[in-house]
Amino acid sequence: MSTSDRIAICAGSFDPPTNGHLDVVRRAARLFHRVIVAVLVNSEKQPWFAADERVAMLVESLEDAGVEVATFHGLLVDFAHAHGASVLVRGLRTATEYADEQQMAMMNRHLGGIDTLFIPASPEVAFISSRMVKDVVRHGGAVDGLVPAPVARRLAARGASATGKL
């Protein structure tokens, strides 16, 4: 496989998708022939948005990026193999995050022989996380500049209250 044929996977829960997520995905799209954004479906978690809603928000937010969006459950390496991917892309916001991400990268390498490429977050979005966005929403704060417009619209449409129940 030539480098021009390389397929990359950008995986996460994306609950909700943030401008930080979009930054990493768009940058990966410039590096790889094909990028698949893989939305984790985990029955053990209680996400704010159902998987199909997260997919829809990502599709709307990334319509100009030339990427695909799909859901997966189970092992990410199995999903990657099924789609012919040769690399996983992960964004890093802080040095502290690197330890956990490195351990996950080594496990994915062990399980499926797939390498991980770390892309440092752009400084203007490095402070954004889905968890922090949820905290802002729970406390009635504005999410301008933190999430793409399709996400902000869905947060508003769902009537996010100060209690954080969506």
- The CATH number of whichever domain residue 33 belongs to comes to 3.40.50.620
Mean pLDDT, consecutive 10-residue segments, the chain of 166 residues? 76 97 97 97 90 97 96 96 97 92 96 96 96 90 94 80 43
Please tell me the predicted confidence (pLDDT) of residue 45: 84
Active-site residue flag, 45:
yes
For residue 5, give every residue at least 6 positions away whose Cβ sits within 8 Å of its Cβ, in sequence order, or none. 33
128 lies in a domain?
A: yes
Active-site residue flag, 110:
no
Would you tell me how many other CB atoms lie within 10 Å of the CB of residue 80? 24
Q: Which residues pair with 68 in a beta bridge?
A: 36
69 lies in a domain?
A: yes
Burial of 116 (0-12, 13-18, 19+ CB in 10 A): middle
162 lies in a domain?
A: no
Q: Do residues 88 and 11 make contact, with C-beta atoms less than 8 angstroms apart? A: yes
28 lies in a domain?
A: yes
90 lies in a domain?
A: yes
Active-site residue flag, 130:
yes
Cα(166)–Cα(162) distance, integer angstroms: 10
Q: Do residues 48 and 134 make contact, with C-beta atoms less than 8 angstroms apart? A: yes
> DSSP strand E in the chain: where?
7-12, 34-40, 68-72, 87-92, 115-120
Catalytic residue among 4, 30, 43, 45: 45
Catalytic residue among 27, 90, 130, 134: 130
Cα end-to-end distance, the chain, whole Å: 45
Catalytic residue among 21, 27, 54, 134: 21
164 lies in a domain?
A: no
Please tell me the predicted confidence (pLDDT) of residue 2: 52
165 lies in a domain?
A: no
Q: Do residues 91 and 20 make contact, with C-beta atoms less than 8 angstroms apart? A: yes
Active-site residue flag, 27:
no
Would you tell me how many other CB atoms lie within 10 Å of the CB of residue 66? 11
Please tell me the predicted confidence (pLDDT) of residue 5: 77
Q: Do residues 31 and 136 make contact, with C-beta atoms less than 8 angstroms apart? A: no
The total of structural domains in the chain comes to: 1
Catalytic residue among 83, 93, 109, 158: 93
166 lies in a domain?
A: no
Structural domain boundaries, residue 101: 3-157
